[in-house]
Amino acid sequence: MPTKKTVAKKPVAKKIAKKRTAKVKVTVDELVDDELAEIEVAELPASDTDAFEPIQLQATPDDIGYRLDQFLVANIPDVSRVRVQELLEQEKILVNGAPAKSSMKLRGTEHIAIVGKAQVAPLKALAEDIPLDIVYEDKDLAIINKPAGMLVHAGAGTGDDPRNRGTLVNALLFHFKKLSELGGELRPGIVHRLDKDTSGLIVVAKNDVAHRKLGEQFASRDVSKRYIALVHGAVKLERGTITASISRDRVQRTRMTTRPSEGSRSAVSHYTVVERLTSPFGRFTLIEVKIDTGRTHQIRVHMASIGHPVVGDTLYGAHSVLSPLTLEREARGTAISVKRESKKGAKIGSNEARSLSLPRNFLHAAAIKFQHPKTGKALAFESQLPDDLQQYLARLKETEG
């Protein structure tokens, strides 16, 4: 029987009725920044919009042995396993006319129909007394230095769900009381976003007028954003531009990809080498990155696409633990077992021998420039690397050969 990993490679089942995915038009009045607009939009099938059109599928002998949820994820464009599970739980997916479980194994003859919309519980941000590093504040906007590990806003469940606690939005509501309402109850004041494990500067709008004007600047690419990243390997060029388009990975829904896809969106990243490091843990390159667009995971997926994933970014190929014998093994041309070499380093006991790990991505939003939405005055802000990233760099330099 085929394994889970082969689902995306199997022939697409014969479709009885033409189906379509939701087309979500995002305007400045709604989700004004490209990278904010990416959140969950690609995960919504037509069954989650007012333009719902029933989808009907026919399993074939090629599908024998597959779980029902695997089959659906592989055959419905731009739908996540979470969304499929919601539809199944709400009995909006029928197999041969009857509700079915996600674990059901197909026999290759089933008629499968998606007959309704998934009813998603409404989300609402809640004020929480969480410390904030406020870099700048006036009546129209605020600049926050977001720490790594903090979600910008909630992404699932209801307002009382523990997973919705500790977000930047919750902290903003407590400190500022009133924010722009253009982002709705879930994203008040949020003009753009940073990934959970990315630290650095983020702009917040306090009123709708400021939000709309800031959004226009983001949409017209008049906002300059500079990031600092440490990537694996020796980047060949001193400076370069990556123009690969980005879309959501069809198999791993939490990932983005530069592989050509119908839903790909243009993305442009410019990088400049700041410093090169060589240590027993391997070769690394510290870079500055300026982005013309703001796609989800843009810098992470772009750097990984040229063979230089961001340190700590296990989603895009970086090791969670680095071996102190990496460079030596590379020189010999032999494979590296991070787990085995880390254990060896621990037994040796010296500072240079111990393994190295970073529980977040080495990516920091270090600078942002834009015009004040009310006065038109040019504003520019910078943020130094946080302590954890500075300490990581220092550790590498201590062992640098």
| 3-state SS, residue 351 | coil
Contact 35, 193 (CB under 8 A): yes
| 3-state SS, residue 331 | helix
Residues 6+ apart with CB under 8 A from 81: 69, 73, 253
Measured CA to CA, the distance from residue 271 to residue 284 in angstroms comes to: 14
Q: How many angstroms separate the most distant Cα atoms in the chain?
A: 67
| 3-state SS, residue 131 | coil
Measured CA to CA, the distance from residue 372 to residue 210 in angstroms comes to: 8
Catalytic one among 140, 195, 197, 313?
195
Question: Is 195 a known active-site residue?
Answer: yes
End-to-end CA distance of the chain: 50
Q: For residue 26, count other CB atoms closer than 10 A to its CB.
A: 16
Contact 298, 305 (CB under 8 A): no
**Which residues are known catalytic residues?**
195
